[in-house]
């Protein structure tokens, strides 16, 4: 690396001149970003090469983490941090009159994911490399990532996110490692003299999967792993022959475009599967390219097939890559001549699966006809897996037709991806304790009964390097000054901060840092949104995908209620609060879009009414993304985690906030339950129905939102304001759908039921916030207890209990 600032500055200027033909004087900010990025990339390359050689030489077992989403955000700051040159580079640039944070803003977010699931994958890669473990990501190189959200007339409008219009300086294209993936066509079989079946696959459509590798740098160590993103391109031979046959260049172009469309778009749908043929193509494209490349690597090791599971762990992040199971079977049997039993043993021992949701609408299934026509050989294998599994069930539960129909992989004309994932893997994990219990005892009860040893919990985590060290440098420095820097390698040492719980000056310092972060964030809001917010007000934040179960609506109704109270009694005492929202709605999810519209309407009303303006402000931040999260979380006082109990599998936003000293207002859902366990009743505001209470309502069928509406004057007032003439509705019917969901259709997410309790919790927040010392203590406890939610802990558990890998140890 650079031994001094001088050396860095010289190298940087040289890069700018030699690679981009610019001098400091003539370079744009974008040029300087690119020069810095490529310069750092060159430094990374050396370690990258060595790491890969080390793995190969030692035949190290490696994890391949298959995920349709990697929500990486920006890489420059993190790479500088992990390469241990952040301060040096920052100071060097400063001496050249450049600001590092300004250059960082020039990088596009790599938004190749929707939300929590994709961000988890990104945090995991950072932890694997930082823990010196051999683990890589396999994903798709979407040309367009998560859509760019604009708010126009208070409504969400989606624009394509053409993030690659700027160079992605971190990727390396490796055309020589391209792999052919095949779709459609026909399969025929023949028997040889020994009676063995051979399958012949013909008339298929070949597509090239070209890998683009992105280095994943470990924190201050020698490990650099790989995020391999596959891009679809026409296979050369195929297009040549087509152009020749059809004799028309136009056909060739059309064909090329349709092939490439496989890796064009990320599906911007967070939790429901729209049965699109293209989506299934994407899934198989990732899986086939990935598994073939793992097999290709394995064969170079020169060890027997039976040891495949000792050399490779294939992990599937939710069911989207579940075709890994039949694809590995296909390769082992059709291409390597291995028999079913052995291939099955190898496959099952190598594959593990994480479930991310209990929402029934999010369980993936594909119509049999579609799978059969698009992936004929894969379909045959899935059928065979299903038949063998049903046979086994039959011998364990003879005559239990109902159970077998319930557990079958192929049933009712559908291929059920969760069932395939469970049957074809050796480990199934949920992502928080409550979620795993729900899987075992409710959603997947019968599978748990059949395979009790396969189910386990791995509570999610977040990388403290990005979410504390990089995004909140002031707080990280204070922590290091106070307890030394061992917490960086062992985040659970953050608990040593508890020794300062009675130290008033330390609590004041915590407060000052939070305040400075709020001032900085307020400036950013002023500059980018043109809204003035008071940094002395409580910063109350809900940022996450917009979804019914996450209940942004509950938060919005609370603000309407506060507004009504203030209008009715202008002398009412109220601790000033600024409510921030950030949320994208899936483009086809009309209800979620209406909620965005409502929040923006509330903002318009509240922010322009001088009677309430000093007490409440509402800011909807457009285009919520990783880089925005990094700005707002350090400035937050109140973290809103108010999903309906049982619906949020884990949440990871909750962990990021906690680690930055925000206090949670939340339900007993997902990982909130574990946050509560760690901080105790006094340092979190828990409200609302518990999972048990919700199941009780389901069993009794006894919930009636309309009786709440009729009996609670406050609720009736707000809901009527949605549909009658009021400052919020202006007499139009745009919010009728919200009223109907809550009153007419019995409030699927128990918003009205939890509303009174939510108000009480929020009242308590306002009271407690005024007692500065106690408040700072709550903030301290949250930071001190957050270490367990580092993804380093999560990854250590996956490594030990699922993947069976160790630290590689210092590479040299
Ligand atoms: C952490 C994160 C999420 C997940 O947030 P939840 O509150 O757990 O749903 C979603 N999007 C982005 C950009 C994130 O950084």
Given a cut of 90, whether residue 195 has pLDDT beyond it is no
Two structure tokens written together for 684: 């979190």
Phi, psi (rounded to 5 degrees) for 162: -85, 75
Residue 634, pLDDT above cutoff 60: yes
Nearest CA to ligand 1 atom 9: 544
% pLDDT > 90, the chain: 92
Share of the chain above pLDDT 70, in %: 97
Catalytic residue among 9, 281, 656, 753: 656
- Looking at residue 10, its pLDDT comes to 97
549 assigned to some structural domain: yes
Tell me what pLDDT residue 810 has.
64
> In which element (H, E) is residue 243 found?
helix 236-246
- My answer on whether 259 and 114 are in the same domain is yes
Tell me what the mean pLDDT of segment 40-51 comes to. 96
Distance in Å, CA 626 to ligand 1 centroid = 8
Q: Average pLDDT of 274-290?
A: 92
84 and 171 belong to one structural domain: no
Q: Residues 154, 228: one domain?
A: yes
Does 44 fall in a domain?
yes
Report which ligand 1 atom has the smallest distance to the Cα of 543.
7
Locate all alpha helices (DSSP H) within 26-65, ordered by sequence: 29-57
- At 296-322, the pLDDT tens digits run 999 999 999 999 999 999 999 999 999
Mean pLDDT confidence for 549-560: 98
Which listed residue (514, 518, 544, 617) is catalytic? 544
d(CA 177, CA 138): 14
Report how far ligand 1's centroid is from the alpha carbon of 335 (Å): 41
Q: Is residue 775 part of a domain?
A: yes
Last residue of a domain, one of 425, 453, 482: 425
CA of 542 to the centre of ligand 1 (A): 10
Task: Give the residues surrounding ligand 1 with Cβ less than 6 Å away.
Answer: 71, 115-116, 119, 544-545, 625-626, 629, 651-653, 656
* Confidence at residue 155, expressed as pLDDT on a 0 to 100 scale: 98
pLDDT band, very low/low/confident/very high, at 243 (cuts 50, 70, 90) = low
Same domain, 667 and 602: yes
Collapsing DSSP states into helix, strand and coil, what is residue 415?
strand
| Mutation test residue for ligand 1: of 543, 624, 654, the one with most atoms within 8 Å of CB | 543
Exposure string of 77-116, with b = 16+ CB inside 10 Å and e = fewer, is bbbbbbbebbebbbebbeeeebebeebbebbbbbbbbbbb
CA triplet 409, 187, 273: central angle to 5 degrees? 40
Q: Is residue 302 part of a domain?
A: yes
Ligand 1 centroid, distance to 587 Cα (angstroms): 18
User: Do residues 502 and 639 share a domain?
Assistant: yes
276 & 209 share domain = yes
d(CA 745, CA 705): 8
Collapsing DSSP to helix, strand or coil, 225 comes out as strand
Note whether residue 812 is domain-resident.
no
For every residue of 559-585, which 3-state class applies, written as one string? HHHHHHHHHHCCCCCCCCEEEEEECCC
Q: Domain check: are 89 and 238 in the same one?
A: no
Q: Is 652 a catalytic residue?
A: yes
Q: CA–CA separation, 290 vs 297, rounded Å? A: 11
Q: Is 356 part of the annotated catalytic residue set?
A: yes
Active site residue 545: yes
Q: For residue 625, which atom of ligand 1 is closest to its CA?
A: 13
Asked if 467 and 659 touch (Cβ cutoff 8 Å), the reply is yes
Mean pLDDT computed over 538-554 = 98
Catalytic pick from 652, 664, 667, 794? Answer: 652
Is 812 a residue whose pLDDT tops 60? no
Choosing from 363, 396, 425, the residue where a domain stops is 425
Q: What is the pLDDT of residue 235?
A: 78
Q: In this structure, what token pair is assigned to residue 738? A: 């919200």
Q: Report angle CA 242, 246, 250 to the nearest 5 degrees.
A: 90
Which residues partner with 181 through β-bridges? 207
**Does 454 fall in a domain?**
no
407 pLDDT band, cuts 50/70/90, is very high
Choose the catalytic residue: 315, 330, 356, 778.
356
Q: Which two tokens stand for residue 53?
A: 């050689």
What are the helix and strand counts (H, E) for the chain?
34, 25
pTM above 0.85, yes or no: yes
Q: Are residues 730 and 594 in the same domain?
A: yes
Mutate to test the pocket of ligand 1, among 582, 629, 655 (most ligand atoms within 8 A of CB): 629
Distance 74 CA to ligand 1 centre (A): 15
pLDDT above 90 for 251:
no
Whichever domain contains 139, its CATH number is: 3.40.50.2000
Based on the residue annotation, tell me whether 550 is a catalytic residue of this protein: yes
pLDDT of 282 > 60? The answer is yes
Same domain, 544 and 562: yes
Q: Single out the residue of 428, 286, 287, 450 nearest to residue 356, CA to CA.
A: 428
Q: Compute the distance between CA of residue 104 and CA of residue 99 in angstroms, rounded to an integer.
A: 9
Q: How confident is the model at residue 253 (pLDDT cuts 50, 70, 90)?
A: confident
DSSP, collapsed to helix, strand or coil, labels residue 629 as helix
Across 626-643, average pLDDT? 98
For tokens 């600001």, what's the residue?
Answer: 99
CB 92 within 8 A of CB 12: yes
Residue 200 has pLDDT above 80, yes or no: yes
pLDDT in tens, 733-774: 999 999 999 999 999 999 999 999 999 999 999 999 999 999
Q: How many separate domains does the chain show?
A: 3
| Most informative mutation of 74, 119, 461 for ligand 1 (most atoms within 8 A of CB) | 119
Nearest CA to ligand 1 atom 4: 116
pLDDT at 239: 61
Whether 246 has a pLDDT exceeding 80, the answer reads no
pLDDT reported for residue 207: 95
Distance 61 CA to ligand 1 centre (A): 31
State the closest ligand 1 atom to the C-alpha of 624, by its place in the atom list counted from 1. 13
Six-digit token string for 628 = 């925005």
Q: Which of 397, 425, 453 delimits the end of a domain?
A: 425
Beta bridge partners of 367: 414
Q: Which residues contact 489 (CB under 8 A, 6 or more apart)?
A: none
Q: Whose CA is nearest to atom 10 of ligand 1?
A: 115
Out of 549, 581, 631, 652, mutate this one to test ligand 1's pocket (max ligand atoms within 8 Å of CB): namely: 652
pLDDT(80) > 70: yes
**For residues 312 and 294, is the Cβ–Cβ distance under 8 A?**
yes
pLDDT of residue 347: 98
The CB-based long-range contact list for 337-345 (8 Å cut-off, 24+ gap) reads 338/305, 340/384, 342/305, 342/306, 344/385
Atom from ligand 1 closest to the CA of residue 655: 8
> What pLDDT is stored for residue 255 in this prediction?
75
* Host domain of residue 26: 1-58+75-107
Assess whether pLDDT exceeds 80 at residue 294.
Answer: yes
CA neighbor of 70 nearest in space, from 319, 317, 353? 317
Maximum CA pair distance of the chain?
A: 94
Atom 1 in ligand 1: residue holding the nearest Cα: 653
Cα distances (Å, whole numbers) of residue 111 to 68, 215, 456, 562, 763: 12, 17, 30, 36, 37
Output the pLDDT for position 254: 77
Is residue 508 predicted with pLDDT exceeding 80? Answer: yes
Q: How much is the average pLDDT of 272-283?
A: 83
Query: Would you state the structure tokens that stand for residue 478, as one six-digit string?
Result: 């204070």
In which region does residue 200 sit, left (phi positive, over 0), alpha (psi from -120 to 50) or beta (all else)? Answer: beta
| 483 & 591 share domain | yes
Residue 271 Cα, ligand 1 centroid: separation in angstroms? 13
- C-alpha–C-alpha distance, residues 778 and 682, integer Å: 7
Which pLDDT tens digit goes with each residue over 595-609?
Answer: 999 999 999 999 999
What is the tens place of the pLDDT at every residue in 563-591? Answer: 999 999 999 999 999 999 999 999 999 99
Using the predicted structure, report yes or no on whether residue 705 has a pLDDT greater than 80: yes
**Residues 370, 277 contacting (CB under 8 angstroms):** yes
Is residue 744 one of the residues assigned to a domain?
yes
Contact assessment for residue 92 and residue 100, using Cβ atoms and an 8 Å cutoff: no
Alpha carbon distance 342, 170 (integer Å): 40
Nearest Cα residue to atom 7 of ligand 1: 653
Paired tokens of 462: 């977040």
| pLDDT for the residue numbered 248 | 67
Nearest to 294 by CA among 266, 315, 275: 315
Q: What is the DSSP letter of 358?
A: -
DSSP of 166-199, one letter per residue? S--TT-EE-GGG-EEEEES-EEEEEE-TT--EEE
Residue of the nearest CA to atom 8 in ligand 1?
651
Q: What is the pLDDT of residue 428?
A: 98
Alpha-carbon distance values, 204 to 181, 374, 690 (Å): 10, 9, 52
The answer on 733 and 682 residing in a single domain is: yes
Residue with tokens 């040549």: 240
Q: Is residue 510 a part of any domain in this protein?
A: yes
Nearest Cα residue to atom 6 of ligand 1: 653
Most confident of 252-256, 356-360, 768-772: 768-772
Read off the tokens for 509: 């310092």
Rg over CA atoms, the chain: 27
Residue 129 and residue 83 in one domain: no
Residues in Cβ contact with 118 at an 8 Å cutoff, skipping those fewer than 6 apart: 67, 69, 70, 71, 112
């Amino acid at each position: 690396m650079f031994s001094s600032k001088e050396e860095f500055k010289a190298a940087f200027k040289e890069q700018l001149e030699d690679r981009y033909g610019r001098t400091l004087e003539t370079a744009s900010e974008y040029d300087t970003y690119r020069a810095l990025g490529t310069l750092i990339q060159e430094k990374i390359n050396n370690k990258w090469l060595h790491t890969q050689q080390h793995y190969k030489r030692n035949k190290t077992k490696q994890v391949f983490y298959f995920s349709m989403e990697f929500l990486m955000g920006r890489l420059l700051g993190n790479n500088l941090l992990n390469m241990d040159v952040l301060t040096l580079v920052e100071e060097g640039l400063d001496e050249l009159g450049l600001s590092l944070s300004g250059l960082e803003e020039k990088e596009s977010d790599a938004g190749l994911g929707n939300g929590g699931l994709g961000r988890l994958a990104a945090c995991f890669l950072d932890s694997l490399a930082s823990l010196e473990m051999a683990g890589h990501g396999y994903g798709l190189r979407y040309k367009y990532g998560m859509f760019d959200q604009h708010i126009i007339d208070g409504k969400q409008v989606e624009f394509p996110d053409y993030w690659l219009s700027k160079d992605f300086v971190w990727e390396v294209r490796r055309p020589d490692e391209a792999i052919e993936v095949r779709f459609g066509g026909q399969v025929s079989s023949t028997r040889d003299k020994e009676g063995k079946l051979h399958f012949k696959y013909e008339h298929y459509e070949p597509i090239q999967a070209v890998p683009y590798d992105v280095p994943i740098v470990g924190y201050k160590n020698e490990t650099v792993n790989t995020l391999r993103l596959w891009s679809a391109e026409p296979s050369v031979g195929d297009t040549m022959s087509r152009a020749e046959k059809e004799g028309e260049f136009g056909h060739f172009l059309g064909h090329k475009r349709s092939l490439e469309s496989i890796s064009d778009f990320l599906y911007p749908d967070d939790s429901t599967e729209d049965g699109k043929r293209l989506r299934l193509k994407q899934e198989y494209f990732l899986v086939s390219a990935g598994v073939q490349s793992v097999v290709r690597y394995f064969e170079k090791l020169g060890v027997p097939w039976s040891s495949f599971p000792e050399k490779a762990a294939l992990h599937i992040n939710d069911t989207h890559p579940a075709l890994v199971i039949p694809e590995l079977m296909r390769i082992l049997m059709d291409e390597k001549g291995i028999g079913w039993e052995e291939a099955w043993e190898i496959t099952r021992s190598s594959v593990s699966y994480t479930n991310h949701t209990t929402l029934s609408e999010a369980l993936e299934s594909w119509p049999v006809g579609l799978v059969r026509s698009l992936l004929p050989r894969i379909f045959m294998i899935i059928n065979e897996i299903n038949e063998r599994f049903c046979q086994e069930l039959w011998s364990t539960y003879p005559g239990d037709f109902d159970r077998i129909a319930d557990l079958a992989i192929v049933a009712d004309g559908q291929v059920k991806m969760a069932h395939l994932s469970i049957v074809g893997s050796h480990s199934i994990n949920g992502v928080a304790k409550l979620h795993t219990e729900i899987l075992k005892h409710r959603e997947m009860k019968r599978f748990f009964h059949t395979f009790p040893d396969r189910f386990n919990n791995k509570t999610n985590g977040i990388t403290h390097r990005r979410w504390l060290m990089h995004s909140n440098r002031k707080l990280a420095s204070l922590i290091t000054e106070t307890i030394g820097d061992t917490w960086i390698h062992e985040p659970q040492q953050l608990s040593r901060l508890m020794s300062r719980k009675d130290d008033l000056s330390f609590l004041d310092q915590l407060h000052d840092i939070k305040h400075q972060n709020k001032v900085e964030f307020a400036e950013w809001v002023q500059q980018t949104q043109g809204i003035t917010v008071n940094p002395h007000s409580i910063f109350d934040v809900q940022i996450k995908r917009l979804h019914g179960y996450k209940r942004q609506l509950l938060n919005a109704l609370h603000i309407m209620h506060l507004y009504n109270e203030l209008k009715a009694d202008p002398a009412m005492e109220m601790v000033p609060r600024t409510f921030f929202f950030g949320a994208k709605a899936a483009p086809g999810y009309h209800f979620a879009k209406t909620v965005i519209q409502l929040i923006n309407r509330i903002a318009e009303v509240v922010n322009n009414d001088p009677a309430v303006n000093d007490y409440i402000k509402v800011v909807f931040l457009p285009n919520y993304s990783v880089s925005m999260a990094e700005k707002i979380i350090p400035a937050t006082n109140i973290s809103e985690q108010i999903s309906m109990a049982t619906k949020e599998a884990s949440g990871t936003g909750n962990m990021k906030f906690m680690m930055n000293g925000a206090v949670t207002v939340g339900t007993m859902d997902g990982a909130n339950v574990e946050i509560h366990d760690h901080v105790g009743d006094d340092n979190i505001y828990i409200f609302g129905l518990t999972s048990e209470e919700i199941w009780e309502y389901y069993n009794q069928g006894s919930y009636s939102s309309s009786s709440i509406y009729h009996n609670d004057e406050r609720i009736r007032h707000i809901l009527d304001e949605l549909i009658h003439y009021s400052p919020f509705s202006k007499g139009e019917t745009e919010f009728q759908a919200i009223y109907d969901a809550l009153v007419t259709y019995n409030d699927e997410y128990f918003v009205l039921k939890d509303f009174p309790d939510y108000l009480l919790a929020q009242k308590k927040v306002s009271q407690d916030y005024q007692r500065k010392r106690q408040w700072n203590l709550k903030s301290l406890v949250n930071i001190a207890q957050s270490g367990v939610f580092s993804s380093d802990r999560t990854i250590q558990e996956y490594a030990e209990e699922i993947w069976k890998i160790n630290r590689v140890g210092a590479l040299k």
